[in-house]
Structures are given as C-alpha cells and as structure tokens.
C-alpha cells in the first residue's frame, strides 16, 4: 500500500516557481446545494480536482477521473433461456420406440419432402424466368403459377407431420392490414405463411444464397436487410413503406423478434414493422409440447427435420388477432406501437416479455461455438444493454470472447486470478480496485454481464476517448508518435510498481496490436477500446504530470 500513499501525497500543493500554470474554468450551477457531493460535478471538474490533491487517490473507484461511477446498474437476469430447445436429446422409452416405428414412415416423408421441394423450385423458376422489373408487383399470371409452389409448401408441412393445422380468427384483407407480424419459433412459420398468405417478407441478405430457398423467397418479392448496416436498415424501412402503401403488392410479413425463440416468452421487438405507421395484424403461432419441442433453438436443421419426420403428428395452432393501429398523437410512435403490439401478443400467448434480442442469440451461439457447458449463462438481455449503454451486439460478442478466455467455471463466473491473467495484470492494489469495480456483488468473482456492463460503462464515458489520447501523448515521451517498451514501463509502473520484465512484455504485447514492436496511437486506442478497464493504468501518469483532459482539449 505504500506505493499508493506515495502517489496520493500532495505533490502539487507547493509547486515550484517554474511549474507551468494551468487554466482552470469553474462552472457554477445556479443556487448550488451545499449538501450535494462532488459526484454531481462534471467529469472534467472531478478530474482536475483529483489531480490537484483534493481527492484522495486511495479511492476504491479507479475510474472516477473519467466520470465513471461505482454504482452503475447491473440488473438481475431473467432465469428463462429464450432460445433453448427442451428436447435437445431423445429421452424416454416412448420416444425411442416411436422413432423406431416411424423410421419407415420417415423415409416416405423424406421422399415427399424432396419431391415437393423440387417441383416447387421448378414452378418458381418458371414464374421468375424473364422477369426483370423487380421494383413493381409480380404480374398476375406469374402469381398464378406460384400456386403450384404454394401447394407444394403445404405438402412439405404435411411431410413434417402437420397433417392438420388449427386456426383461430381470420386474416384481415390487405386493404386494411398491409402488414402482418408474427412470433417466430421455427422454420415452419415461413412455410405456413407462404402457403396461407403468399406475402412479401423481410429477410437477411444471407438467405438469398441458400439453395432452393433463395429462389423461392425471391418470388415473394423479398426485402433484404443487413441488420448490422444502418443504411441497409434504412433502405428496408423505406421499402416497407413503399410496398405497404400500394395495394398491388401482397401483404408484408415480418417477424419483429428478429430470430427464433423457444416460444416460452416474447423477446423485444425490432421497429421495422412499426416505423411506417400502418395498421398491423398480429398473428401468434403455438406448438403444443407433447413429447417433442419443435422450436428451432440451437438444433441443427437436419436433426430437427429428423425429429419431425419421426413423430406420428406435430401440433400447430395459428391465431389471427385483432388489428393494432398506432396512436398518431404520440411522439414515440414506433416504439409505443411496437410495445402495444408485443403486449397484445404476449397476453394472447400467456407468456412474459423480456429484453432479450438477436444480440443475445449471437452471444448464445458464440458461447456454444467455444464449447461452454451452459451458453445461456452469457445472454444479457441485449435490447436493454443497447438502449442503456449504446453497446452494439458485435461489440458485446468481442467482450464475450475476452471473458471466455478468462476460463469461466461451469456457473459462468470468472475468478480474480484468471481476470488478471487475460488483462496481463499482477495482483496489487490497483488490480484489486479494477476487479472490485465490476464485482458489484462483492463475491470475489464476476459474471459476463458484470464484465460487459462494467466495461461498457467505462467505454461510453464522454471523457474516455480524450483520456486515451492524453494518455498516449503523455507516454510518448520522445514525441515519435509511438510508445516503446521502456516508455510504457515508465507509465505503467506508476500504477503497478515492481513489475518484472515478463510482465511488462505481456502488457506491451497486449497493446502492440499489429505486432511490430511499437505501439502506435491506433494500437493504443484499439487496445483500450477492447480492454477499457486498462485505462486505469494511466491515471497516475496524468496525475503525476499535473495534466487534465480539459487542458489537452
């Protein structure tokens, strides 16, 4: 602890005569409350206060200098896994006997499936042949030819064991309900709606390259979207508006959850179906669970098809709900419209609503790919995370890769020594404070949700980017626009004294992203964006120099 005390001594209380003066601007709020703490000060004010000895460097918060608070929110996670299939493996004597009995039937069903797929593909190919004007509705004679494919779609459902499908309610005419939204549990719903409504759909660009399927969805005048491209999402919304406003186009079908779920809950809705402001007809699909869970979840398509082929009958229920129209007098029209529709659907399904999203599915898949026993430990309700901390799903996946390299235990927790190993830190006062900052429950181990929210809380501070730039400038002592190992040692040992040569080399290799032996500014900032918790290493350097981020601005 002696090293911490040496840094907290008032080095600047009696500056030498040649010490450069600093410009300090004090911004006072009107009628300040003297009982309020310094926590209400602006980040730059708190930074200047700390660097002039007023704030004790022994504080438990190593990120206070950029405005981060220890009491950032880490809400408890819902215990339901929104993606997990309940019958991942064949269990029970009844299922084994049933599969053995159905194996000959499965071969017949497979042959029927292949025949219908081939016939449907050929009919679709003929309907599309020579059609160049994809911006306008498909001509009627081509649509009539597509009835062959639609009948094939119903026979495919029959081959999957959906001999009859229970319906409740009726689909509204296209003139009063141009948009249809549905929950999404399996790949069965698109096949059913293709037969039932032959709608225009919104689909990922990757579907276009799928054999057979890509050709068939093109006949549905699909609207492609890249969910990670803002321009693509904007184009998709404009296309939804254009096609919804013209009665010559079919109804539009969207799955606002953006991915398949287990059907036991309803995850957050994306806004694409609601931004245009047209009335929508919600449709809910149920698959009553008897012995086999038909949700897609994380099961491969061949395995799920095999299980469907070896059932006597698969149950499916479709219910058309009353139309939902937006309130025109609300500013948050699309958001409120989506919430109103999701509440109606959740109530009809008798399920809970959660803040999970497609981003959670990406985390689930990544954890599965990296052989985690329980991938559901690493889903964090990304819709809430994105709206609260402006962290994108791809960024969250990057943080998950780092967390999984820390070797979490079967319960999804990481202990202190594994945390230090990945961040190239040694046990010391500062590393304990960094770990304690995200260990909000003070259990001596952290979850991925704590790691993600703690890292995001640091990364999204207004002063984080400027702190990175200032730290690089202060470490680049010779002004050559790169940091050498000795310069990094000089900066880091102010925060973590007595580091060995191997420990310094470890931190240097972490920052040297391109591996050229030098840390450029791009390397430095990229590393801190990937490991934002390491910004705490450079506060003593700034404090020792008497420089604030405000000065450099």
In sign, the C-alpha dihedral spanning 121, 125, 126, 131 is positive
Token digits for 340? 């109103």
507 contacts 487 by C-beta, under 8 angstroms: no
Token digits for 209? 């390259």
Q: How far is CA 215 from CA 122, 137, 211, in A?
A: 10, 17, 8
DSSP assigned state of 324: B
Partners of residue 224 on adjacent β-strands = 203
155: CB partners within 8 A, 6+ apart: 112, 116
Chain centre to alpha carbon of residue 284: 25
Task: Give the pLDDT of residue 7.
Answer: 37
Q: How far apart are CA 85 and CA 77, in angstroms?
A: 19
DSSP assigned state of 514: T
DSSP per-residue letters across 156-177: HHHHTT-S--EEES-PPPTTT-
Token digits for 146? 């597509």
Per-residue pLDDT 10s for the chain (553 aa) are: 444 444 334 433 444 444 444 333 333 343 444 333 333 343 334 434 444 433 444 457 888 888 887 777 788 877 788 988 888 778 778 888 989 999 999 999 999 999 999 999 999 999 998 888 778 888 999 999 999 999 999 999 999 999 999 999 999 999 999 999 999 999 999 999 999 999 999 888 777 777 777 788 888 888 888 888 888 889 999 999 999 998 899 999 999 999 999 888 999 999 999 998 899 999 999 998 778 888 987 788 889 999 999 999 999 999 999 999 887 665 458 889 999 999 999 999 999 999 999 999 999 999 989 888 888 899 999 999 998 888 899 999 999 999 999 999 999 999 999 999 999 999 999 999 999 999 988 899 999 999 999 999 999 888 898 889 889 988 888 888 888 888 888 888 888 888 888 989 999 999 988 888 889 999 999 999 999 999 999 888 777 665 555 454 4
98: CB partners within 8 A, 6+ apart: 291, 310, 311, 312
Q: How far apart are CA 548 and CA 24, in angstroms?
A: 10
**Is the backbone of residue 357 left (phi > 0), alpha (psi -120 to 50) or beta?**
beta
CA 39-42-44 angle, to 5 degrees, is 115
DSSP assigned state of 100: H
Q: How far apart are CA 143 and CA 148, in angstroms?
A: 10
Token digits for 30? 């009107």
Q: Are strands 519-520 and 482-483 parallel, antiparallel or unpaired?
A: antiparallel
Query: By C-alpha distance, which of 166, 128, 170 is closest to 148?
Result: 128
DSSP assigned state of 137: P
Helix (H) or strand (E) holding 153: helix 140-159
Task: Give the pLDDT of residue 35.
Answer: 37
């Amino acid at each position: 602890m002696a090293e911490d005390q040496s840094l907290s001594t008032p080095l600047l209380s009696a500056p030498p005569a040649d010490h450069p003066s600093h410009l300090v601007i004090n911004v006072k709020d009107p009628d300040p409350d003297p009982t309020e703490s310094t926590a209400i000060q602006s980040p730059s004010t708190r930074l200047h206060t700390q660097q002039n000895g007023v704030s004790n460097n022994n504080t438990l918060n190593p990120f206070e200098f950029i405005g981060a608070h220890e009491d950032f929110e880490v809400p408890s996670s819902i215990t339901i896994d929104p993606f997990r299939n309940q019958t991942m493996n064949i269990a029970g004597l009844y299922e084994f006997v049933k599969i053995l009995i159905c194996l000959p039937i499965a071969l017949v069903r497979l042959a029927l499936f292949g025949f219908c797929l081939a016939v449907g593909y050929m009919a679709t190919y003929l309907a599309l042949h020579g059609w160049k004007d994809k911006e306008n509705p498909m001509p009627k004679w081509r649509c009539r030819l597509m009835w062959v494919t639609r009948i094939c779609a119903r026979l495919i459902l029959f081959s999957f064991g959906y001999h009859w499908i229970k319906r409740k309610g009726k689909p509204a005419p296209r003139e009063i309900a141009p948009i249809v939204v549905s929950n999404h549990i399996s790949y069965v719903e698109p096949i059913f709606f293709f037969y039932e409504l032959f709608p225009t759909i919104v689909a990922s660009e990757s579907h276009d390259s799928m054999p057979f399927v890509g050709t068939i969805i093109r006949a549905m005048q699909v609207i492609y979207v890249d969910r990670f491209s803002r321009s693509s999402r904007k184009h998709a919304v404009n296309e939804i508006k254009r096609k919804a406003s013209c009665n010559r186009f079919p109804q539009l079908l969207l799955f606002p959850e953006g991915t398949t779920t287990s059907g036991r809950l309803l995850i957050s809705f994306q806004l694409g179906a609601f931004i245009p402001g047209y009335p929508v007809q919600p449709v809910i699909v149920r698959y009553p669970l008897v012995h086999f869970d038909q949700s897609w979840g994380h099961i491969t398509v061949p395995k799920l098809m095999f299980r469907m082929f070896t059932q006597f009958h698969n149950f499916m229920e479709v219910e058309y709900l009353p139309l939902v129209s937006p309130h025109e007098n609300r500013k948050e029209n699309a958001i409120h419209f989506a919430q109103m529709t999701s509440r109606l659907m959740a109530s009809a399904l008798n399920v809970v609503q959660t803040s999970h999203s497609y981003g959670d599915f990406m985390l689930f898949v990544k954890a599965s790919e990296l052989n985690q026993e329980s991938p559901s430990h690493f889903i964090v309700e990304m819709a809430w995370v994105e709206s609260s901390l402006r962290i994108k799903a791809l960024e969250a996946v990057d943080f998950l890769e780092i967390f999984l390299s820390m070797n979490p235990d079967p319960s999804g927790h990481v202990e202190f020594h594994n945390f230090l190993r990945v961040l190239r830190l040694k046990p010391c006062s500062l590393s304990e404070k960094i770990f304690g900052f995200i260990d909000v429950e003070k259990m001596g181990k952290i979850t991925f949700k704590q790691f993600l929210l703690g890292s995001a809380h640091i990364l999204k501070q207004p002063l984080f980017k400027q702190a990175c730039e200032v730290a690089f400038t202060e470490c680049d002592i010779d002004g050559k626009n790169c940091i050498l190992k000795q310069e990094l040692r000089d900066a880091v040992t102010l925060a973590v004294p007595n580091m060995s040569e191997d420990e310094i080399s470890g931190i240097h290799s972490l920052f040297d992203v391109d591996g050229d032996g030098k840390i450029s500014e791009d390397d430095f900032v990229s590393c801190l964006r990937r490991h934002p918790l390491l910004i705490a290493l450079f506060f003593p350097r700034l404090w020792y120099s008497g420089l604030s981020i405000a000065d450099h601005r």
